[in-house]
Structure 1
Amino acid sequence: MPAPVASAHRLMYPAASLFAALAVPLWLAQIGGLLPLGWSPAIHAHEMTLGYALAVVGGFLMTRLSRPMLAAAFLSWLAGRLALLAGLPAALALPLAFAYPVLLFIVAGLPFLRTSRSGHNAVFGPLIGAFLLAEALFWASQLGLVQGVGQPVGLLLIATLLLTMGGRVIPAATAGALRRQGITLTQRVQPRLEAMGIAGAALCLLSAATGLLPLLGGAGAALAGTSALLRLARWKPHRLLRQPEIASLHLGYLCLGAGWLLVAGAALFELPPAAGWHLLGIGALGILASAMTIRTTLQREAEPERFPPAATVAVALMASAAALRVAAVWIPSMPLLTAAATAWTLAQLLTAGVLLTRPRRARR
């Protein structure tokens, strides 16, 4: 008798949202002098990307796990978060932090490498493997082995994954919604624009990881952002403004393109780097993660894909959080930071609530 299998989304999605709802208020409490956590900005960026975002990635990609393997994935992810939250010595925290990215690569990255050595999915295996390099770079910096890099490599990797994976998932969802209106979407993946975006993101990542050729990295970020916005414009987003389950995906991809352009502006025109980072991390990642976790949960549990009201509110709050946090880059203000953190936390709690209250397919 075959062993029962499970999908990671029921566990990893709400865990990611609940962790994100906790981590940002803790970070705000630290920078406000209320809680001496000892987190550096690098640790904050690490936990938002290699902590929160990778949990979402795992929930999306790990679809057929044995229950012991699912437990191992969740516990390894949780151990990594607790290790940094507790401030464990590097000798203990480092192996705990590496455990989940290694497992994710084995379970999700290696299958892409085996089955997609050619063709349009070939990029995903190396991308998932690159998170191991981002983890290694973070720890090398923490241990003083290399000089701290100026840009959060993990965030740029997540933005690259959103650029590529979102560029496949979003037009497919859009085409289905337009088809129900009697409209055919002819320009979907747009391979040339996709290749331009991937090449640009790769240049930006290489520059960020090495600290070399910042102008070339900025040009790469500009290519990535331009490709995202051009692709989005051809998906006819104006036709679906009244369907929040699709419009939220378009809004997240809009933030992704704009975020890449702000990253480019930091390198090429001396704009504040934090503006691009937070538009990518809150606007793109936050909105797309909330929208996609809810959408894929509805699909996998065979429910109608229409968003419940709480999901729409969550996306609106996340968009507000992005706008407030980017504004706080140019107008430094604790009230703005607090408002952004509050909107983020409420959005994550609403997302978790929607995810946790969806009935399982087998129980209906």
Structure 2
Amino acid sequence: MTNETRVPERDLAFLSYGFRPFFLSAALFACISVFLWMLLLDGTLELSSPFTPTDWHIHEMLFGYASAVIAGFLFTAIPNWTGRAPKRGWPLVFLVILWLIGRLATGGILGMEPIGVMLADLAFLVAIVAMIVVEIVAGRNWRNLIVVVPVLLLLGANLTFHVEVHLTGVSDVGRRLGVGVIVFLIMLIGGRIIPSFTRNWLVKRNSEKLPAPMNRFDALCLLTGGGVLLGWSFFPYEPTTGWIMLGAAGLQGVRLSRWRGASTWRSPLLLMLHAAYAFIPLGLVTTGAASIGWISPASGAHLLGIGAIGGMTMAVMIRASLGHTGHKLEAGPLLSVAAGMIFSAALVRVCFPEAFVGSVSGLWIAAALWIAGFAIFSLKIGPYLTRTSRKPT
């Protein structure tokens, strides 16, 4: 008898699928890191990180939190694409340890030199790329090999972030590249799952009007969206960048309208996916306006970072966690409130950058909403992720 067969199944559940450890780790880290960020701003806490407090916050949201969610999603989706068994057990332990080492290193807790911090942090994404390639090649699922490209770009953005900080003291291109790559991933993957889930739900209700199938228009949206995000990364203050971004925002808005989101109001689980994607055209509009010089650059960055990235990752984690642990695909009141808090955090952060109530700024309110939203997710979904599923995943 092997060791695995002697261990009760419930003890192995947490490491039986990629989404389990990474979604829970990401949600807990989302709470902890933003709480620490507020302490840093308040002067209560100091880090011996090679990054400035602002760079540490941006880096950890992009390459700490979001990277963990991406890993959880990919290692849950890839077995469905390839028909191969999911990564489980020690390979997942190894990946989680690499991710944790990166968080400790960038926080200055391991006392490493900047080069050591960079290598420790990059190791996680390097391992993710290697495992994705091995799984897709072994399963001969060549069509989905394209997902390696955005992950490689995210790795490149992380490398750029570290190099910029090492050479100049602050990040510039790297932070925008990180946001751009993750938003493009949402465009790519969201463009598959949102209309597909919506179509399935509407078909069950005998609806005659269904989401438009993916076609050349979607390819145009991806091409223009990816191109303008790349241009913004390197030329953020050029009016030409801004005008092109406004055009890309319009295309993304039309794309979203073709998915019949308004018809999903009875399903908060679906509606939150559409709402999260809506922050992409909204964020592109405000970012484009900032490039032209009409508004502050921070507005678009927060709509894309909190609303699109935070909102979409929250919505995807809720749906995947419920579905793969055998629970009904219904958000319920608590999880609906949690998602609403993330969307509200984005709007409050942008609309009330200064005083909100008395001397309390929108920044603090937004941080409280973000922390509360992910705390609710952790308390509600956490037990599902650590226990044996009600049915096979």
Give the TM-score normalised by the residue count of structure 2.
0.83
Separation in structure 2 between the aligned mates of residue 138 and residue 316 of structure 1, nearest angstrom: 31
Determine if the alignment matches structure 1 residue 72 to structure 2 residue 70: no
Aligned to 2:332: 308
Amino acid at match of 1:314: A
Aligned to 1:44: 57
Where do residues 118-267 of structure 1 align in structure 2 (5 Å cutoff)? 121=144, 123-144=146-167, 148-149=171-172, 152-184=176-208, 186-211=210-235, 214-267=238-291
Separation in structure 1 between the aligned mates of residue 106 and residue 360 of structure 2, nearest angstrom: 25
Q: How many aligned residue pairs are there?
A: 362
The answer on whether the counterparts of 1:207 and 1:216 sit within 8 Å (CA) in structure 2 is no
Separation in structure 1 between the aligned mates of residue 391 and residue 141 of structure 2, nearest angstrom: 36
Structure 1 or 2, whichever has the larger Rg, is 2
Determine if the alignment matches structure 1 residue 336 to structure 2 residue 362: yes
Change (3 A) 1:205 1:233: closer
Aligned to 2:83: none
Separation in structure 1 between the aligned mates of residue 146 and residue 244 of structure 2, nearest angstrom: 17
Structure 1 unpaired stretches of 5+:
none
Between 58-67 and 261-270, report the one with greater CA deviation: 261-270
The answer on whether the counterparts of 1:321 and 1:340 sit within 8 Å (CA) in structure 2 is yes
Change (3 A) 1:206 1:285: closer
Change (3 A) 1:245 1:141: same
The answer on whether the counterparts of 1:112 and 1:125 sit within 8 Å (CA) in structure 2 is no
Aligned-pair distance for 1:24?
1.1
Aligned-pair distance for 1:220?
4.7
Amino acid at match of 2:287: V
Aligned-pair distance for 1:221?
3.2
Aligned-pair distance for 1:92?
2.3
Determine if the alignment matches structure 1 residue 10 to structure 2 residue 20: yes
Amino acid at match of 2:108: A
Q: What secondary structure does 1:143 align onto? A: helix
Change (3 A) 1:262 1:190: farther
Give the TM-score normalised by the residue count of structure 1.
0.90
Aligned to 1:81: 103
Separation in structure 2 between the aligned mates of residue 191 and residue 231 of structure 1, nearest angstrom: 11
Between 76-85 and 222-231, report the one with greater CA deviation: 222-231
Separation in structure 2 between the aligned mates of residue 3 and residue 216 of structure 1, nearest angstrom: 62
Aligned-pair distance for 1:144?
0.6
Aligned-pair distance for 1:289?
1.2
Change (3 A) 1:92 1:222: same
Determine if the alignment matches structure 1 residue 298 to structure 2 residue 308: no
Change (3 A) 1:363 1:166: closer
Aligned to 2:389: 361
Aligned-pair distance for 1:186?
4.4
The answer on whether the counterparts of 1:274 and 1:329 sit within 8 Å (CA) in structure 2 is no
Change (3 A) 1:156 1:331: farther
Amino acid at match of 1:56: V
Structure 2 unpaired stretches of 5+:
5-14, 77-85
Separation in structure 1 between the aligned mates of residue 213 and residue 291 of structure 2, nearest angstrom: 28
Separation in structure 2 between the aligned mates of residue 2 and residue 234 of structure 1, nearest angstrom: 52
Change (3 A) 1:110 1:158: farther
Aligned to 1:352: 378
Determine if the alignment matches structure 1 residue 92 to structure 2 residue 105: no
Change (3 A) 1:295 1:20: same
Aligned-pair distance for 1:152?
2.1
Separation in structure 1 between the aligned mates of residue 244 and residue 64 of structure 2, nearest angstrom: 26
Which of 290, 301, 312 aligns to 1:288? It is 312
Separation in structure 1 between the aligned mates of residue 236 and residue 321 of structure 2, nearest angstrom: 41
Aligned-pair distance for 1:149?
2.3
Identity %: 26
Report Cα offsets for 1:244-263 as digits up to 9, x if no partner.
01111111011122112222
